[in-house]
């Protein structure tokens, strides 16, 4: 055991004696100052160098023989040089290059890892690029995390097809989702909205573990997921995607981006999908997958001027699902006085939202003022058998952010104000919940950057019209142990107002009676954690290891108790009686060119007080193993991807007569092959290729209107093997010479 510990310590601290230089490279022209992507940084004598990333930053190891001249060059800019000596160990540089005014625009392309943890960010941020999303069918957001170990996507019941994400073993409502830093999938969208955003619209996904920045709001309790959509300036002139699988699902996506003038550009996105297969592979007379259709449209406009930038966009979608027994085809919800002949599930969602962003540049490079506006309207209605539900939500949001620095860019500040207006109406069975929220807030964030330390400390104050004063302190720190190793720490408070009906709407797919909470109180949590990320070489090939540990303790949590009373679902508040522990170890390696290996293991200890005993939360496996293999041929014509996950046992709702029920260990195997021919991509793949299915996912399926019916005890796959095929066509913008 001691030998193993010595090896691990040697691996992490082998390079601590080396020195490092890092910095930011910006370019100045007649319009503004902006980071330079792909600038070359090279030591003249040591003949060692690197390139700046998409944020204009770089890291480089100082050579042994000093002094040496650091040469900074970029296409279209005058070259600059800096002489570095031995005293410049761990120096941080801010370099400004001046334009030659010879080229109006330069487009640089570089290959980067499709999934990686940012070395430059203070927070633990994992980025999934469009290349990572191509590894799976990825037809909507719920399928965009199949090749990722940090985020789990689970089916909530066996009749509606609804999916939810999980981070650190906690329900997706505790993870703050944002669409380009705008609140997303909140309120009525939380249960069915994951399937409303096509994956072909997404440019990248950033996954932040722990509480996020106070600038982004107060709802980040377990993590933050930010989605970046394709930008009109960089996206394809025309993009087409068609998809078909063996379960009767068809899908078409169309994207188009146009540069109208030097300042104006626009992007158009359209999506249509349909599930028409009336499939029942397990012969329980219930559809394995609900039928229905989804139509979505999004349009955005971008303006880039000398002193300001602006974005305006609007989106809308309509989603309809018809599930239940294979004989159910009702088009409109009804509430019969007697049990109907067939059990059916009908869900109708209608959504519209609009956003605007304006940014104004100050006289100093890092000085700016940004304003974000967002308005949303969402309508939801339907039935589970004879149990109706409905909801209406109106939301307005504004966020004002001011960026500046004190003396130097090593001392940055962000300050601003926000305001939320929310009017939400929820009905389920005979229960009714109406609420109007008015939440003005203010925040201040300070970032300190030194040669080794990067610290982000923030505080926000919000006044809720129903729950009064709320303070949200947060602290994040990153320490650069050496040029290959980063250590991060995080701590902070988060809170949210629960929507117990829509957050748990899938529990209507049973005969169990709901007992509403005595009162609605805000859920409050404290999150503490840290991570170690290290780059190294294994057999002379690049490798990376990341280890993180997070603890989330709830001061108040609204839990769903399915154990205490027979045939009853009880919603109740718990004070200091629930927590989550999450441990994850991930290893990445590129043994040969274009062949990437990722291995991960995750342990989840998520408990709450049930019947006077701390017990594991139901349907959350304590262990998960993950493997992803990706290979691309040298001629870039073929891509092969394989993802294998092993899910451990999880506790099932037991009530007192059998509280020790546990699920089985099961595998999930997904694979895809893509052939690239000029502007065309042809792909074929399969999901759940091991064909593992949960036996009898619906309790008492033969009597759906009886007191024992339950379609919510889902811990494994309901569907068997699904084979799919598709094509992509993209007409890229012509590169300016």
- Domain parsing of the chain, residue ranges: 2-98, 115-731
Q: With contact defined as beta carbons under 8 Å apart, do 558 and 221 qualify?
A: no
What 3-state DSSP class applies to 235? Answer: coil
Paired with 424 in beta bridges are: 393, 435
Question: How is domain 115-731 classified at the CATH fold level?
Answer: Maltoporin; Chain A (2.40.170)
Q: Which helix (H) or strand (E) holds 501?
A: helix 500-503
* pLDDT on residue 735: 59
Spatial neighbors of 504 by CB under 8 A, at least 6 apart, are: 560, 569, 571
* pLDDT on residue 178: 95
The dihedral formed by the CA atoms of 109, 112, 115 and 116, expressed in degrees to the nearest 10: -120
* pLDDT on residue 9: 42
What 3-state DSSP class applies to 187? Answer: helix
Q: With contact defined as beta carbons under 8 Å apart, do 364 and 96 qualify?
A: no
- 305-324, pLDDT tens digit by residue? 988 999 999 999 999 999 99
> What CA–CA distance (Å, rounded) separates 237 from 710?
49
* pLDDT on residue 30: 63
The dihedral formed by the CA atoms of 208, 213, 214 and 220, expressed in degrees to the nearest 10: 10
Which segments within 450-567 are labelled E, that is strand?
A: 453-464, 468-482, 485-496, 513-515, 523-538, 541-561
Which segments within 562-695 are labelled E, that is strand?
A: 568-592, 595-610, 613-616, 623-632, 638-647, 666-677, 680-687
> What CA–CA distance (Å, rounded) separates 153 from 636?
31
Neighbours of 614 (CB within 10 A): 11
The first and second tokens of residue 638, run together, are 């073929």
> What CA–CA distance (Å, rounded) separates 173 from 164?
9
On the CB side of 600, CA atoms within 13 Å amount to: 22
Q: Nearest Cα to 41, choosing from 20, 23, 65?
A: 23
End-to-end CA distance of the chain: 60
* pLDDT on residue 653: 87
At the fourth CATH level, the homologous superfamily of domain 2-98 is: Carboxypeptidase-like, regulatory domain (2.60.40.1120)
Helices (H) and strands (E) in the chain, counts: 3, 40
Spans of the chain below 50 pLDDT: 1-17, 102-103, 109-110, 332-333, 337, 656-657, 737
- 352-393, pLDDT tens digit by residue? 999 999 999 888 778 899 999 999 999 999 999 999 999 999
Which letter does DSSP use for residue 547 in this model? E
The first and second tokens of residue 305, run together, are 């001027």
């Amino acid at each position: 055991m001691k030998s193993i510990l010595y090896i691990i310590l040697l691996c992490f601290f082998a390079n601590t004696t080396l020195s490092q230089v890092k910095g930011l490279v910006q370019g100045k022209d007649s319009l503004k100052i902006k980071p330079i992507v792909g600038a070359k940084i090279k030591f003249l004598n040591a003949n060692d160098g690197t390139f700046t990333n998409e944020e204009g930053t770089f890291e480089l190891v100082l050579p042994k023989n000093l002094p040496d001249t650091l040469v900074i060059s970029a296409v279209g800019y005058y070259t600059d040089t800096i002489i570095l000596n031995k005293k410049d160990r761990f120096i941080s540089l801010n370099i400004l290059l001046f334009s030659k005014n010879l080229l109006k625009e330069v487009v640089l392309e570089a290959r980067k890892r499709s999934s990686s943890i940012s070395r430059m960010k203070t927070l633990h941020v994992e980025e999934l690029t469009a290349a990572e999303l191509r590894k799976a069918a990825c037809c909507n957001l719920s399928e965009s995390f199949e090749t990722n170990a940090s985020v789990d996507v689970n089916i909530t019941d066996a009749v509606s097809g609804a999916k939810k994400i999980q981070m650190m073993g906690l329900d997706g409502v505790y993870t703050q989702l944002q669409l380009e830093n705008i609140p997303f999938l909140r309120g009525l969208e939380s249960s069915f909205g994951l399937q409303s955003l096509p994956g072909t619209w997404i440019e990248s996904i950033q996954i932040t573990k722990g509480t996020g920045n106070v600038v982004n709001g107060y709802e980040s309790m377990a993590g933050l997921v930010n989605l970046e959509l394709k930008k009109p300036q960089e996206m394809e002139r025309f993009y087409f995607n068609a998809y078909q699988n063996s379960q009767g699902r068809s899908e078409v996506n169309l994207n188009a981006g146009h540069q109208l003038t030097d300042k104006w550009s626009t992007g158009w996105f359209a999506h249509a999908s349909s599930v028409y297969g009336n499939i029942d592979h397990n012969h329980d007379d219930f559809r394995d997958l609900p039928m229905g259709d989804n139509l979505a449209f999004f349009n955005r406009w971008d303006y880039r001027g000398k002193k300001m930038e602006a974005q305006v966009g609007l989106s809308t979608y309509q989603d309809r699902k018809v599930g239940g027994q294979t004989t159910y085809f009702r088009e409109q919800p009804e509430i019969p006085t007697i049990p109907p002949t067939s059990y059916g599930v009908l869900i109708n969602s209608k959504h519209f939202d609009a956003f605007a962003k304006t940014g104004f540049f100050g006289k100093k490079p890092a000085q700016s003022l940004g304003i974000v506006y967002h308005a949303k309207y969402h309508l939801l209605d339907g039935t589970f058998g004879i149990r109706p539900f409905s909801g209406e939500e109106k939301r307005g949001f504004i966020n004002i952010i001011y960026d500046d620095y004190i003396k130097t860019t090593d001392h940055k500040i962000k300050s601003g104000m926000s305001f939320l207006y929310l009017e939400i109406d929820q009905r389920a069975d005979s229960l009714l919940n109406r609420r109007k929220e008015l939440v003005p807030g203010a925040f201040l964030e300070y970032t300190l950057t030194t040669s080794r330390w990067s610290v982000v400390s923030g505080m926000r104050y919000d006044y809720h019209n129903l729950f009064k004063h709320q303070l949200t302190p947060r602290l994040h720190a990153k320490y650069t142990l050496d040029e290959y190793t980063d250590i991060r720490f995080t701590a902070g408070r988060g809170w949210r107002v629960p929507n117990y009906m829509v957050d748990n709407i899938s529990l209507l797919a049973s005969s169990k009676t709901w007992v509403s909470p005595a009162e609605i109180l805000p859920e409050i949590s404290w999150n503490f954690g840290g991570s170690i990320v290290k780059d190294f070489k294994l057999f002379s090939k690049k490798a990376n290891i990341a280890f993180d540990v997070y603890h989330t303790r709830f001061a108040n949590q609204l839990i769903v108790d399915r154990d205490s009373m027979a045939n009853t679902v009880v919603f109740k508040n718990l004070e200091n009686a629930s927590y989550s522990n999450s441990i994850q170890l991930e290893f990445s390696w590129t043994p040969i060119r274009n062949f990437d290996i990722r291995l991960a293991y995750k342990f989840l200890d998520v408990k709450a007080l049930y019947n006077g005993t701390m017990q594991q939360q139901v349907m959350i496996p304590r262990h998960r193993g993950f493997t992803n293999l990706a290979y691309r041929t040298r001629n870039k014509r073929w891509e092969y991807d394989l993802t294998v996950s092993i899910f451990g046992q999880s506790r099932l709702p037991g009530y007192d007569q059998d509280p020790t029920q546990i699920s089985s260990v099961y595998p999930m195997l997904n694979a895809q092959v893509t052939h690239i021919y000029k502007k065309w991509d042809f792909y074929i793949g399969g999901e759940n290729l091991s064909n593992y299915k949960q036996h009898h996912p619906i309790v008492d399926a033969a009597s759906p209107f009886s007191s024992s019916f339950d379609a919510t005890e889902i811990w494994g796959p309901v569907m068997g093997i699904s084979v799919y095929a598709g094509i992509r066509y993209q007409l890229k913008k012509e590169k300016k010479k």
